[in-house]
Amino acid sequence: MKTMTVGVIGCGNISSIYLKRSKIFPWLKITACADLDMAKAAARANEYGVGRVCSVEEMLADKSIDIILNLTIPKAHAGVALAALKAGKHVYNEKPLALQRAEAKKMLSLAAKKRLRIGCAPDTFLGAGIQTCRKAMDEGLIGKPVGATAFMLCHGHESWHPSPEFYYEEGGGPMFDMGPYYLTALVALIGPVRRVTGSAGISFPERTITSAPKKGKKIIVETPTHIAGVMDFVNGAIGTLVTSFDVWAHRCPCIEIYGTEGTLIVPDPNGFNGPASVKRGKEKEWQELPLVKGFAENTRSLGLADMAFGILADKPHRASGDLAYHVLDIMQGFLEASKSGRHAALKSACASPARLPEDFLGGF
C-alpha cells in the first residue's frame, strides 16, 4: 500500500491524540515533528516514536514530506498553512481554518492553483455517533428537517488549561473554539446555511487563571464569550446555536434536530461516540439507535487519514477546506450580524460530505 508522509507543526496538547491515533491508518506515516519550542517537539517525537525533530523551515524544505499537519494556535493557522502550500505540500489544519475569510480564501485559492489539498478539523462528525445520525437522516427517519438547536455552555478553560490565554484572544472564544464542532455536524446533517444573525457579548472582561503553572495571572478578554446565533439553512430549516464561556451550569442538549416526522438527539459533536436517539410522531418513548460500524473512540486524525486516502485514490475528502470555510463564514457572520443588527447573507456554500463507509479502515 502506498503511504503519505506527514510532518507535524505544533506539538501542544492536541498533538498527542493525533500522533497516537494516526498509527491505526497504514497509509499514514508521521515522520517529523516541529515546534517553536524544540524541546516540546523532541518530547512528543520521543513519546510516539517519530524519528525526526526539526525546525519549521527544515520541515517545509523536506521534499519527502507530503502533508503538513498544522496543530499551531489559531492565529498561526493561516500563516503556517500558506507557507506549507507555497512549499508544495498538502495541509490539514486544526480548527478553525483561519481567523478571517480573506486569509482562508488565499489558502483555498493557492491550493487550487497548485493542485494541493486542504483539510481541516473537526473530524468528529466522521465518528460513529454522528454518522449514525446521518444514516438516520438519509433514511428519512425524522422526515424533512424543519429546525435544530445546539448548545455549548461552560465557564471557560482557565481552571484546567495550562496556557488558556489564547481562548480569550481574537480567534478564540467559545464560537471559534467549539463552534466548529457543532456547525460542522449541523452542516453534515442538514446541509449548508444561506444567512445568519446573532448577538454576542463579553460578560466577564477579565479572567483569572486558576490552573498551574500560571495560577493567579489575569487575562483581559478580547473576544465575545457568549454568542447566540440563528441560521437559515438552504433547505428551509431554521437552527439556533448558543456558545458560551460564561455559564456555570445548564441542562441544555448538545444538538437536537426537529423533522416533520420526529426528533433526533445528536451526541456531543466534540466526541466520536453516541448515544443517538429518536422519537417519532406521537411515540411515547425515545429509541436509542444502534451505532453504525466505525470509529466510536477518540480518533483525531480520521479526517487527515481520509484526506490522505483521497489524495492517493483521487477521490474527494470529507473534512475539506470548502466545508471548513463555510463554517468560518457562518461564525464570522454571527459576529458581524451582532455588530450591524442585521442578518448576514453568506456567500459561501458547500455540499454535505458523503457518509464515511462503515468499512473505511478495513476496506482500503
Q: What is the pLDDT of residues 205-244, one digit of tens each?
A: 999 999 999 999 999 999 999 999 999 999 999 999 999 9
- Per the structure, the complete domain to which residue 64 belongs is given by 4-120
Type of residue at 111? A
pLDDT of residue 222: 96
Per the DSSP assignment, residues forming a β-bridge with 280 are 262
Give the C-alpha separation, 289 to 297, whole Å.
Answer: 17
pLDDT of residue 347: 95
Supply the pTM of this predicted model: 0.96
Q: Are residues 261 and 137 in the same domain?
A: yes
Give the C-alpha separation, 303 to 92, whole Å.
Answer: 8
Q: Are residues 188 and 279 in the same domain?
A: yes
Q: Kindly state the average pLDDT of the residues 179-207.
A: 98
* 42 belongs to a structural domain: yes
Q: Are residues 78 and 217 in the same domain?
A: no
Residue 203's alpha-carbon distances to 146, 156, 158, 220, 236, in angstroms, are 32, 12, 15, 12, 33
* 65 belongs to a structural domain: yes
Q: How many domains does the chain have?
A: 2
Q: Kindly state the average pLDDT of the residues 1-15.
A: 94
Residue at a domain's end among 256, 288, 320? 288
Query: Which residue's entry shows cell 445528536?
Result: 266
Q: Are residues 165 and 210 in the same domain?
A: yes
H-state helical runs in 205-259:
none
Q: Are residues 36 and 104 in the same domain?
A: yes
In this predicted structure, the answer to whether residue 364 has a pLDDT above a threshold of 90 is no
In this predicted structure, the answer to whether residue 77 has a pLDDT above a threshold of 80 is yes
CATH number at residue 53: 3.40.50.720
pLDDT of residue 309: 96
Q: Are residues 183 and 43 in the same domain?
A: no
* 342 belongs to a structural domain: no
Average pLDDT, the chain: 96
* 351 belongs to a structural domain: no
CATH number at residue 196: 3.30.360.10
Q: Are 33 and 310 in contact (CB under 8 A)?
A: no
pLDDT of residue 361: 85
In this predicted structure, the answer to whether residue 270 has a pLDDT above a threshold of 60 is yes
Q: Are residues 131 and 116 in the same domain?
A: no
Residue at a domain's end among 268, 288, 308? 288
In this predicted structure, the answer to whether residue 362 has a pLDDT above a threshold of 90 is no
In this predicted structure, the answer to whether residue 254 has a pLDDT above a threshold of 90 is yes
* 334 belongs to a structural domain: no
In this predicted structure, the answer to whether residue 363 has a pLDDT above a threshold of 70 is no
Q: Are residues 256 and 275 in the same domain?
A: yes
Q: Are residues 133 and 281 in the same domain?
A: yes
Give the C-alpha separation, 201 to 335, whole Å.
Answer: 9
* 348 belongs to a structural domain: no
* 318 belongs to a structural domain: no
Q: Are residues 57 and 87 in the same domain?
A: yes
pLDDT of residue 171: 84
Residue at a domain's end among 288, 310, 325? 288
* 139 belongs to a structural domain: yes
